[in-house]
Structure formats: structure tokens, C-alpha cells
Amino acid sequence: MTEYLTARAVRRAFEESGKRHLILTGGRKSGKTTLMRALCPGILPGVTTWAVPHSAAYLQDNMTGETVQIGVFDESLPGPENRMRMRKDGFLTAGITALKRSAENEWLTVDEIGYLETECEEYCAALGDALEHQRVIAVVRKQEIPFLTEILGRDDVFAVDLDDPYGKPGCVIMASGMGKRFSPDGSVNKLTADFLGHPLIRCVSDTTEGLFHRRVVVTRHRDVAVLCAENEVIFHDLPHRSDTVRLGTEAMADTDCCLFCQGDQPLIERDTISAMLLLSKHDRESIIRASRGGNAASPVLFPRWAYEELKNLPEGKGGGWLAKKYPDRVKTLNVFHPAELMDADAPSDLDELEEIYREELS
């Protein structure tokens, strides 16, 4: 799933979270530094550290370029990791100086905080002071070290784990509508209508590919089931929207949250869905709704506590009914473009959406 995680999605989720600090964590070669550079393309106050394998570790002051040695490889240390022995003088000079120099700035960047940093009490104290008085974007090595665990567990931190950014989310693609406004005589199934050279249902199917632990398409249309054959398909002939929600929810037993999305929202973006999943990983109590200008819409992401009620909705009701029942538990995430929330109720809607895509989103 990490290959689908973009700086754009992380930034949106972080902004919507209201947290003070953004921390990227993960194991070796998980892409932490690459993502941080995408989030912070310019030079910001702070420090950057790196290691030359089997040689030494270094720290650089981002603003002055001053570089000092903070570790030396020691082959006598047990492997395979943490085989650098700390050089404290580097932290006490350039390291702490760089952190203190940045104190007048709102933001501080630190790439990275690992086991060597935790061995210097004075440097850790300076980092702690920055977390109290500034806003920090940092890479934190994933290791069972108390100082690192404490940073990731702070209430004001939005942590993104690149090894496991979303947890075990599920997705239900709602594809059971009769589309009577699109084709009053029922001769055309709107979900199979052409949109930019592909059947309409393929848009949301392609957008959600690779993001979920489990994904199902719930439909009463055999032609839709054929088009979505690479997904798990739940085929039924039940009449109500509540039936579609129930069937989809029943398939989500091994997930920790579930996104319900409409099969006729062709311009919903992968980054929007990714940001919703990031928010939910950080907050398993809230219902997350996509919105624009204060108007909440689909997709809607429900935490696991809502599953039982989703299985027992009033006849004909959808997930929106449950979200309205718990307004104090709803959080919204603004989409990147208003067209993401537009659905295709009529052929003219498809024409408008295609025009928006070609002129603004392609």
C-alpha cells in the first residue's frame, strides 16, 4: 500500500487532523526520507542525518551546511543494526546549535531521529523543547526505544507509519442502483455507460485498487459483476439501499474500518481516499466524510464500532443516515476538487464530468 501514499494525501490528512506535529516512521528503506523531501521541497530550518554503511554517521545543519560526525562504525557491536557508536561532540556542537537557531521559526524539520540521537541526553532535551515550542516535521526510526516511542505517542503528533499506513481497511463499492433518472425505461445501465473510453464503474474500481485489505462490489447487475470480476463481487436481487449496505458490511468482518463509495462518482481521487484512510488509522472513533464547502457527501468511512448498526439500518436507508445519527462523531475531509463529489444521475452529468476532467483534471 505504501506505493500509493503521496505527499499530497499525507499533507491533507495532517491538515485536517488538527495536530501540531507530523512524524513519519517506518523501518529501513520504507521511503521516509523520500516522502519528507516531497513534503518539504525547500530548505527549512533543522537538521539532516545519514550514515555511510560500515563507516560513519553524520549530521548537517540545513541552514548553514555545517556537517559533523555523530557516529563511527564499530564492528564489535552486535548486528545487524545499531552498530554505530555515538560521537557526542557532534550533537553538542552543530546538532544542538542548529536546533536552537531554528527556535525563532514556526517549523523545524528533523531527518532523522534514531538510536544515536537517543544516546545524547542534551540533544534529546533540545528536541523535546522544540516539540513544546515549535511545529515539527520529522522522520523517526521505528525502534523500541522509549524516547522514540514517547514522540510517536504524543497527543499533538500525527504519525504516519509507512510500513502500515492504513491498518486493515475495507471498501464497499455500492453498485446496486437502478439508475432510473439516467435511463427512465431501464434500457441503459449507467454503471456500464462510457466515461472517457471506459465503463463508468471502472473509474471507482481503478481508483480504489491497492488501498484496501478487503474490497467488495455489491451489485444486482450481472453486467457490472462481469466488469468487476477482478474484485470480490456480492451479487443479489434485494430491493433496498439498506440491503446493499448490510451485505457489504457483512463481508468486512476482518477489517477495522470500511469505506462506502458510490459506483457513479468517477472523479473521486485516490489521494482523497488515501487521506481518509490515514485519518481513520489515527482516529478509530470518528466517521470520516468527504466534503466540500461544508457540505458532506460520499464517500463515507465508518469505524468498526458502526458495523452492527450498518447491518441493521432502517429499510431503504444508507450510511448517511447513520452519520446523521452521530453528528458529534463525524469528521470531514475536504476534497481536492468539487467534481470529486459529483455523481452521474443523468447522461448530461457524464458530459459535464468529462468536460471538467479534460479541462481541469487531466
What pLDDT score was predicted for residue 2?
Answer: 60
181 and 146 fall within a common domain: no
Q: Which of 46, 43, 47, 41 is nearest to 103 (CA)?
A: 46
CATH of the domain at 69: 3.40.50.300
- Provide the residue-wise pLDDT of the chain in tens; the chain has 362 residues: 566 799 999 999 999 999 999 999 998 889 999 999 999 987 788 999 999 988 999 999 999 999 999 999 998 888 777 788 999 999 999 999 999 988 889 999 999 999 999 999 999 999 999 999 999 999 999 999 999 999 999 999 999 999 999 999 999 999 998 777 787 777 678 999 999 999 999 999 999 999 999 999 999 999 999 999 888 999 999 989 999 999 999 999 999 999 999 999 999 999 999 999 999 999 999 999 999 988 899 999 999 999 999 999 999 899 999 999 999 999 999 999 999 999 998 999 999 999 999 999 87
Is-contact 220 235, C-beta < 8 A?
A: yes
pLDDT of the residue at 129: 96
Domain residue limits at 35: 2-161
- Pick from 161, 196, 226: which residue ends a domain? 161
Domain identity same for 107 and 234: no
C-alpha cell at 269: 481521487
Q: Where does a domain end: 137, 161, 185?
A: 161
Q: Is the dihedral of CA 230, 232, 236, 242 positive or negative?
A: negative
Q: Are residues 136 and 182 in the same domain?
A: no
Task: Clarify whether residues 65 and 180 are in a common domain.
Answer: no
Q: 102 and 230: one domain?
A: no
Identify whether residues 185 and 41 lie together within a single domain. Answer: no
Q: Which of 161, 180, 211 is the last residue of a domain?
A: 161
Do 209 and 139 lie in a common domain? no
Please provide the distance, in angstroms rounded to a whole number, between the alpha carbons at the two ends of the chain.
24
| pLDDT value of residue 185 | 73
CATH number at residue 335: 3.90.550.10
Number of structural domains found in the chain: 2
Say whether both 214 and 350 belong to one domain: yes
CA distance 263 to 293: 23
Domain identity same for 157 and 212: no
pLDDT attached to residue 145: 94
For the four alpha carbons of 137, 143, 145 and 150, in that order, the dihedral sign comes to: positive
Q: Identify whether residues 179 and 278 lie together within a single domain.
A: yes
- Fill in the amino acid letter for 47: V
Residue 189: what pLDDT? 86
Residue 207 sits in the same domain as residue 130: no
Q: Are residues 138 and 200 in the same domain?
A: no
The long-range contacts involving 120-128, CB below 8 angstroms and separated by at least 24 positions, are: 120/86, 120/88, 120/91, 120/92, 120/95, 122/91, 122/92, 122/96, 123/91, 123/92, 123/95, 123/96, 123/99, 126/95, 126/96, 126/99, 126/100, 127/99
- Within 8 A by CB and 6+ apart from 54, the residues are 73, 75
